[in-house]
Amino acid sequence: MKLALTGATGFVGAALLDLALAEGHEVRALTRRPQADRAGVAWIAGDLADGAALADLVQGADAVIHVAGVVNASDRAGFEAGNVAGTQAMLDAAETGGVSRFVHVSSLAAREPGLSAYGASKLRAEERVQGSGLDWTMVRPPMIYGPRDKELLDLFRSAKWGLVPVPAAGRASIIHVEDLARLLLALATASSVGTIYEADDGVRGGWRHRDMARAIAAAVGRKALVIGVSARMLEWAAKADGLLRGSRARLTPDRAAYFAHPDWTCAASAGVPKALWSPRIETRAGLAATARWYRKAGWL
């Protein structure tokens, strides 16, 4: 196939790009920065606000896989621009360019739009996709981990020092980035349309936060003390992170509200049919491999 891909230089998009090329697909990939030449890839300079670049991106494509999005922003306007307006721009480009197949990466956060500006923006983006008239399919991933991930890196670093703070109560699902990439690529050719899938590692009911913290500690070779953090403490931690790291803060007030929610598990009713896809990477093994990658890259 010829695929038009956004977010190809990010965590999920890079894994998807590697897989697509390994399977022999041609990829047109949007990028804001110059990239090294790579066989099978046509890099398209621009961003989601550049209509001419998006028109170039979808030229001759069989399907669009829209991965790009904003997970951290200083205000609602930042989420609106990156997740809602950016998605609408891609939908417009696909429709104008005659590309009907559209695979959209959303988030479980869209299920609870009142909790965070991020979740609200992801739901609004979903609504734009649903109203587009294209042959769309969406995935709401839970927590994503694997090589190149910076979102869970702080937990691995904390585990290395023997202390892991997690929300005091609740459960969450998780998925390895390579499993998610396989699903997105499968959906680009799937016949099912108009469906929102929630995909995880196959652990029904997800993981208790404490159990996940212990699994991360084991991945770095430690037995860490797991500290349950209340919603109020998460708010304070977000303020502290903002003071210490400013715009580079990982735990913003918006994310603190998101993390405090007790149920971020994938619904079995929204699962992907096994004939289409199933996870391959067992999470404890995947976490250990991720820790090894972090060490090799000098991140841990």
118 catalytically annotated: yes
Structure tokens at 104: 């959209």
pLDDT at residue 251 in the model:
65
**Tens of each residue's pLDDT in the chain, 300 residues:** 999 999 999 999 999 999 999 999 999 999 999 999 999 999 999 999 999 999 999 999 999 999 999 988 878 999 999 999 999 999 999 999 999 999 999 999 999 999 999 999 999 999 999 999 999 999 999 999 999 999 899 999 999 999 998 888 899 999 999 999 999 999 998 877 899 999 999 999 999 999 999 999 999 999 999 988 777 776 777 677 667 766 666 667 777 777 778 899 999 999 999 999 999 999 999 999 999 999 999 999
For residue 234, the SS3 value is: helix
3-state secondary structure 158-192: HHHCCEEEEECCCEECEEEHHHHHHHHHHHHHCCC
Radius of gyration of the chain (CA): 19
Q: Which long-range contacts (CB under 8 A, 24 or more apart) does 232-235 make?
A: 234/167, 234/259, 234/260
Decide which of 2.102.10.10, 3.40.640.10, 3.40.50.720, 3.30.70.100 is the CATH code for 2-144+175-202+265-280: 3.40.50.720
- b/e 228-260 (16+ beta carbons within 10 angstroms → b): ebeeebbeebbeebbeeeeeebebbbbbbbbbb
pLDDT at residue 247 in the model:
64
Q: pTM for the whole thing?
A: 0.94
CB–CB of 132/102 below 8 Å? Answer: yes
- C-beta neighbour count of 75 within 10 angstroms: 9
CB–CB of 119/142 below 8 Å? Answer: no
State how far the Cα of 239 lies from the Cα of 23, in Å rounded to an integer.
45
